[in-house]
Homo-oligomer: A and B are copies of this chain.
């Protein structure tokens, strides 16, 4: 039978090669188990609101008013919204002619890009140009846009710190480039080892790959840099709104124009997400009506995240053959699991990577859905899993004890102390 254009065999090979571990085998199995009625604790995606984090009130008030501008003419509006949220909604509606239903400039609303530039300038102490700031549907879309713009073929290498966020490996594969990994040092709290980077670069060059772009932190007035931000991560956790930006530093104007052109094909980022970004870079200030509520909500989320990071790290470190660095600025833990040789052999017999094998058993036994470390990259023979620290605080003792019981049994089984 003749093949049809959308048959699997006819698809773009780069698409088939692409892997995206965060929503990969473990996630699919967890979704199946959930359908069968098993209680699943989804810690595979940094998705705080899905696990019960409440949204900050002020930005939601502002965006709700922008979404329903007729409320601003309702005599009762003051009963339900504070005056500063009303004023701020009017401000954004004045920046966005046509309101939330109109496409904005493909780079985002100029007035909000100005607010972002002011924020960067306050934060870093260097001037920032709104013309070099583009708003995006979340940071992921911005990263993909940028990688699509620079990757030409498999001889273009992209230096990526490992463990990496699988977005990078997936987008690089999708656009046909080569990922050039450099390993962060677990023993140095995931610090950077320059010798390792030099070695990686020279190995890649010897294979004919030109090293292009460093997603890591080097920064100067010479280096070409694109930096990303988002309303999804940080403590806002407004993932579903899809708001983000990138700022371009030291890029030639012709390159900026090309990036503008790519952005314009999809017309504009979603406008409500742009307003979230505006409020994020310009939150209520001391003296504003909503300031106290906004800062107490923020503080409570941040303190809870820190307590959860502590509980998660301590929990992992109390488990046999598990070691874990403290979670500093992110919402993830990445414990190393020292798998006994027999577990590695059993995984091989089952046709699975050893960390996938461990994580699948963990899922089946406890309902805890994690991501195997191989999706993020790890040194040969070293195994990890990634989990978020986002479950509700009151659920932590049960989750950690359930993990501990599973891990004890697993280690006992494969270290041969018992046969369970």
A5 near B213 with CB under 8 A, answer: yes
B68 near A150 with CB under 8 A, answer: no
CA distance A268 to B212 in the complex (A): 29
A174 near B150 with CB under 8 A, answer: no
B101 near A7 with CB under 8 A, answer: no
B271 near A99 with CB under 8 A, answer: no
Q: Fill in one digit per residue for A262-280: 1 if any B CB lies within 8 Å of its CB, else 0.
A: 1011111111110000000
Q: Which of A245-296 contact B (CB under 8 A)?
A: 251-252, 254-255, 258, 261-262, 264-273
Q: Which of A1-55 contact B (CB under 8 A)?
A: 4-8, 10-13, 15-16, 18, 20, 22-23, 45, 47-53, 55
Could you tell me the dominant secondary structure of chain A's interface residues? helix
Interface: A87 (CB within 8 A)? no
B18 near A262 with CB under 8 A, answer: yes
Interface: A104 (CB within 8 A)? yes
Determine which of B4, B15, B138 lies in contact with A267 in the assembled complex, contact meaning CB atoms within 8 Å: B138
Interface: A217 (CB within 8 A)? no
Please name all residues of chain B whose beta carbon is closer than 8 Å to the beta carbon of A265 when the two chains form the complex. Answer: 18, 20, 140, 144, 167, 170-171, 174
Q: List 16 A-B contacts (CB under 8 A).
A: A5-B224, A8-B254, A10-B212, A22-B264, A50-B103, A52-B98, A53-B101, A55-B101, A101-B240, A101-B241, A103-B240, A140-B266, A239-B267, A240-B271, A241-B270, A242-B269
Interface: A196 (CB within 8 A)? no
In chain B, what residue has the closest Cβ to A175?
B12
CA distance A137 to B145 in the complex (A): 15
Q: Fill in one digit per residue for A97-129: 1 if any B CB lies within 8 Å of its CB, else 0.
A: 111111110100000000000000000000000
Interface: A61 (CB within 8 A)? yes
CA distance A140 to B269 in the complex (A): 11
Q: Quick check: which of A76-84, A376-384, A405-413 contacts chain B, the rest being far away? A: A76-84
Interface: A141 (CB within 8 A)? yes
B270 near A137 with CB under 8 A, answer: yes
Q: How far is the CB of A183 from chain B (nearest CB, A)?
A: 22
A50 near B97 with CB under 8 A, answer: yes
CA distance A212 to B3 in the complex (A): 11
A102 near B239 with CB under 8 A, answer: yes
